[in-house]
């Protein structure tokens, strides 16, 4: 059974009146956590898209960029979206359930937030209501502020985007601290790591931009340190 068929079954249960808690409890163990992860992104991104009062084609396209949908699965994916529209659960309930499922797994929650930022920025505008929405989701997920700011720095033009923010460290961090942060992010971004923590194979596209951004940040900081050493 494909990912989209499994997701469709879960959302059908929600549409039929089963509680979100019951559905997510069934999806708690790997590999079914990939279903819960995808449902959370679908539900949260759909509700976020309405936060700025307009659901654009760009936002729909962005979702398809995050989740690579094979032609054979297009009908199943379309059914998922149609069923999701019938769901009356608030976004906060979804955020709570996914937080409880990935309790303490910071990297998995960062994956989720990154997907939401990708979709939010599809139209090139960081709408104030989207900003409030994402800040509230991060608060519910209990995502460390440094992680939230690092993700925002990579996606939002005009946000503090210095390389230290991208790596989630302060500008006065030592070179060794920065290197440890960079190595941790590279390790967390490996596709095998992402699959193990519940990100579906269809969403590994998330890793590509992240790896480019964190390597660029590390190179910039390394170059600054090398220049500083030459000036001494």
Q: What is the pLDDT along the chain (232 residues), one digit of tens a residue?
A: 677 778 878 877 877 888 888 888 888 877 788 888 888 887 887 777 766 665 556 666 666 766 767 777 777 666 666 666 666 567 888 899 889 888 878 888 998 898 889 888 877 888 888 899 999 999 999 998 888 988 898 888 766 567 888 888 888 888 999 999 999 989 988 888 888 888 877 677 778 878 888 999 999 999 887 776 665 5
CA distances from 163 to 88, 137, 156, 182, 225 (A): 40, 24, 14, 10, 13
Count: domains in the chain: 1
For residue 25, the surrounding DSSP H or E stretch is helix 20-26
d(Cα 198, Cα 206) in Å, to the nearest integer?
13
**Would you tell me the crossing angle of helices 106-120 and 91-101 to the nearest 10 degrees?**
150
- Scan for tokens 């440890």, then name that residue: 180
pTM over 0.95: no
User: Whole-angstrom Cα distance, residue 142 to residue 188?
Assistant: 19
Distance CA 130, CA 114 (A): 14
pLDDT for 183: 94
C-alpha distances out from residue 194 to 76, 108, 145, 170, Å: 24, 8, 21, 26
Q: Residue 11's domain spans which residues?
A: 3-231
Per-residue pLDDT at 58: 63
């Amino acid at each position: 059974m494909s990912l989209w068929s499994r997701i469709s079954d879960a959302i059908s249960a929600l549409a039929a009146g089963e509680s979100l808690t019951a559905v997510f409890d069934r999806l708690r163990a790997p590999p079914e956590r990939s279903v819960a992860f995808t449902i959370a992104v679908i539900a949260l991104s759909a509700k976020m898209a309405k936060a700025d009062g307009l659901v654009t084609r760009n936002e729909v396209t962005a979702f398809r960029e995050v989740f690579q949908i094979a032609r054979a699965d297009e009908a199943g994916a379309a059914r998922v979206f149609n069923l999701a529209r019938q769901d009356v659960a608030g976004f906060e309930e979804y955020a709570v359930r996914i937080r409880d499922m990935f309790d303490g797994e910071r990297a998995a929650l960062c994956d989720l937030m990154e997907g939401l930022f990708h979709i939010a920025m599809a139209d090139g505008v960081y709408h104030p209501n989207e900003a409030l929405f994402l800040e509230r989701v991060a608060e519910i997920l209990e995502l460390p502020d440094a992680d939230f700011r690092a993700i925002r720095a990579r996606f939002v033009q005009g946000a503090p985007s210095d390389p230290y923010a991208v790596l989630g460290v302060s500008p006065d961090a030592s070179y060794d601290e920065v290197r440890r942060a960079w190595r941790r992010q590279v390790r967390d971004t490996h596709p095998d790591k992402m699959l193990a923590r519940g990100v579906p194979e269809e969403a590994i596209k998330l890793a590509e931009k992240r790896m480019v951004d964190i390597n660029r940040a590390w190179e910039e900081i390394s170059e600054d340190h090398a220049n500083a050493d030459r000036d001494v």
